[in-house]
């Protein structure tokens, strides 16, 4: 699976403080520890407290790229912030994210094309978060057909059915899992699928257990990628073992070690 580290997010106290104080070292250490733990890409989000997200995201990305050339996932709901981030990325970028709304897709799909970025499409719209699998599928089909029409490569599109906290939306988990499976059969070539995994356990105790159980199940339903905490080694072990069960890695007795040294 493709792992996007979630920890460079102003929502975390240490990162919010580092952004405000322009403390590069904290950001670079956070980037490197995630890469060392197996992250293929790093999500970068200024968080809700940022007063100047257009310049904060540029500074974050420039700081990270001094220590790693991993893919940068530019995470914001504001197109101006996303554009500022994409401009700063030197290597591969993921645009995180558009919704299924036309006013968003009209700006963000051309932007993803211009910067040769991969694109995350959230299956939400101005009408809100879908309440079942079929509503998610309907929005997914709108995003896929919009991208196809604008000749955005569908293999570079990651659909996100939006993981919801299990303590407030327990009935949604099965809907999200089934949506992951059905997103894959909307078109040929298939879009890819992604989840913000930690959403599922927000507000719960036993977060690590809930996260890794949900991840393992989602991988069974065909999930391609997740934004998660790569420092959670039990979670990473579950991801690696799931790839093994799904025949994505060759078995050997020391498969955990082999994966980590790859
Ligand atoms: N889909 C996509 N992008 C996303 C999300 C998604 N980006 C943001 C988010 N969701 C994924 N990233 C996080 C990062 C942190 C947490 C959850 C998701 C988290 N943070 C602690 C909390 O809220 O309890 C913060 C604890 C602290 O303050 O230290 O859980 O779904 N495409």
CATH code assigned at 174: 3.20.20.20
CA-120 nearest atom, ligand 1:
32
In a domain, 37, yes or no: yes
Q: Is 208 in the pocket of ligand 1 (CB under 6 A)?
A: no
Predicted confidence (pLDDT) at residue 5 exceeds the cutoff of 80 = yes
Do residues 78 and 108 share a domain?
no
Instruction: Say if ligand 1 is within 6 A of residue 135 CB.
Output: no
The pick from 76, 104, 198 for probing ligand 1's pocket by mutation, whose C-beta has the most ligand atoms within 8 angstroms, reads 198
What percentage of the chain exceeds 90 in pLDDT?
Answer: 96
Burial class (CB in 10 A: 0-12, 13-18, 19+), 84: buried
| Average pLDDT of span 77-89 | 98
The span from the CA of 159 to the CA of 136, in Å, is 10
Same domain, 182 and 71: no
The verdict on the CB of residue 196 being under 6 Å from ligand 1 is yes
Q: Ligand 1 in contact with 99 (CB < 6 A)?
A: no
- Site to probe by mutation for ligand 1, drawn from 75, 77, 196 as the one with most ligand atoms within 8 Å of Cβ, is 196
- Look at residue 98 and tell me if it is in a domain: no
Please say if the pLDDT value at position 6 is more than 90: yes
Domain around 51:
1-91
> Residue 56 in contact with residue 19, Cβ under 8 Å?
yes
14 and 77 belong to one structural domain:
yes
164, 199 in Cβ contact below 8 A?
yes
Average pLDDT over residues 82-106: 98
**All residues at 6 or more sequence positions from 180 whose CB lies less than 8 Å from its CB, including other chains:** 161, 193, 195, 218, 221, 222, 223
Do 142 and 240 lie in a common domain? yes
Nearest to 68 by CA among 20, 8, 113: 8
Q: In the predicted model, what is the mean pLDDT of residues 201-223?
A: 98
Which of 46, 68, 91 terminates a domain? The answer is 91
Question: Is residue 156 pLDDT above 80, yes or no?
Answer: yes
Q: Judge if 23 and 123 occupy the same domain.
A: no
Look at residue 16 and tell me whether its pLDDT is greater than 90: yes
227 lines ligand 1 (CB under 6 A): yes
Q: What is the pLDDT of residue 261?
A: 84
Q: Would the CB of 12 count as within 6 Å of ligand 1? A: yes
Residue 142 CB less than 6 A away from ligand 1: no
- Note whether residue 99 is domain-resident: no
Reply yes or no on whether the pLDDT at 20 is more than 90: yes
**Does residue 125 sit in the same domain as residue 229?**
yes
Total domains in the chain come to 2
Q: What is the mean pLDDT of the chain?
A: 97
| Reported pTM | 0.97
For residue 10, the CA-to-ligand 1 centroid distance in Å is: 10
pLDDT at 262 over 80: no
Using a 6 Å cutoff on CB, does residue 221 contact ligand 1? no
Residue 230's Cβ-side half-sphere holds a number of Cα atoms within 13 Å equal to 27
Residue closest to 216 by CA, chosen among 191, 258, 246? 246
Residue 234 included in any domain = yes
Residue 97: inside a domain = no
Residue 119 pLDDT greater than 90, yes or no: yes
Domain boundary among 62, 91, 120: 91
Q: How far apart are CA 149 and CA 143, in angstroms?
A: 10
Residue nearest to atom 1 of ligand 1 (CA): 196
Look up residue 124 and give its two tokens: 């939400």
Please state, in angstroms and as integers, the Cα–Cα distance from residue 25 to each residue in 41, 154, 182, following that order: 19, 37, 43
Please indicate, yes or no, whether residues 141 and 59 belong to a single structural domain of this protein: no
Provide mean pLDDT across the span 241-255.
94
CB 47 within 8 A of CB 38: no
Going by pLDDT thresholds of 50, 70 and 90, the confidence category of residue 260 is confident
Can you spell out the DSSP letters for the chain?
Answer: -EEEEEEEETTSHHHHHHHHTT-HHHHHHHHHHHHHTT-SEEEEE--TT-S-HHHHHHHHHHHHHTT---EEEEE-S-HHHHHHHHHH-SS-EEEEEE-S-HHHHHHHHHHHHHTT-EEEEES-BTTBS-SSHHHHHHHHHHHHHHHHHTT--GGGEEEE-----TTT-TTHHHHHHHHHHHHTTSSSSPPEEEEEGGGGGTT-SSHHHHHHHHHHHHHHTT--EEEE-TT-HHHHHHHHHHHHHTTSS---TTHHHHHHT-
Whose C-alpha lies nearest to ligand 1, atom 25?
12
As a whole number of angstroms, the distance between CA 89 and CA 120 comes to 17
Q: How far is the CA of 250 from the centre of ligand 1 (A)?
A: 32
Residue written as token pair 């699998």: 133
Distance CA 206, CA 203 (A): 10
Same domain? 35 vs 86: yes
Q: Are residues 79 and 111 in the same domain?
A: no
């Amino acid at each position: 699976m493709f792992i996007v580290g979630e920890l460079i997010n102003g929502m975390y106290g240490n990162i919010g403080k580092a952004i405000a104080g322009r403390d590069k070292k904290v950001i670079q250490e956070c980037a490197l520890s995630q890469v060392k733990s197996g992250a293929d890409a790093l999500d970068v989000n200024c968080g809700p407290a940022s007063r100047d997200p257009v310049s904060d995201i540029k500074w974050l990305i420039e700081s990270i790229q001094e220590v790693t050339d991993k893919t940068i996932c530019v995470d914001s709901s504001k197109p101006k912030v996303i554009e500022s981030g994409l401009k700063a990325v030197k290597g591969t970028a993921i645009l995180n994210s558009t919704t299924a709304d036309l006013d968003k897709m009209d700006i963000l799909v051309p932007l993803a094309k211009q910067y040769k970025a991969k694109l995350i499409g959230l299956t939400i719209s101005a009408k809100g978060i879908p309440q079942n699998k079929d509503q998610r599928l309907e929005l997914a089909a709108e995003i896929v057909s919009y991208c196809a029409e604008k000749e955005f490569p569908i293999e570079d599109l990651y659909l996100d059915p939006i993981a919801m906290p299990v303590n407030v939306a327990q009935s949604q988990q099965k809907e999200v899992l089934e949506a992951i499976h059905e997103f894959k059969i909307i078109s040929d070539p298939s879009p890819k699928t992604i989840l913000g995994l930690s959403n599922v356990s927000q507000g719960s105790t036993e977060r690590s257990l809930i996260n890794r159980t949900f991840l393992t199940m989602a991988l069974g339903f065909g999930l391609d990628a997740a934004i998660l905490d790569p420092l959670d080694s039990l979670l990473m072990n579950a991801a690696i073992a799931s790839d093994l069960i799904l025949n994505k890695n060759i078995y050997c007795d020391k498969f955990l070690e082999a994966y980590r040294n790859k």
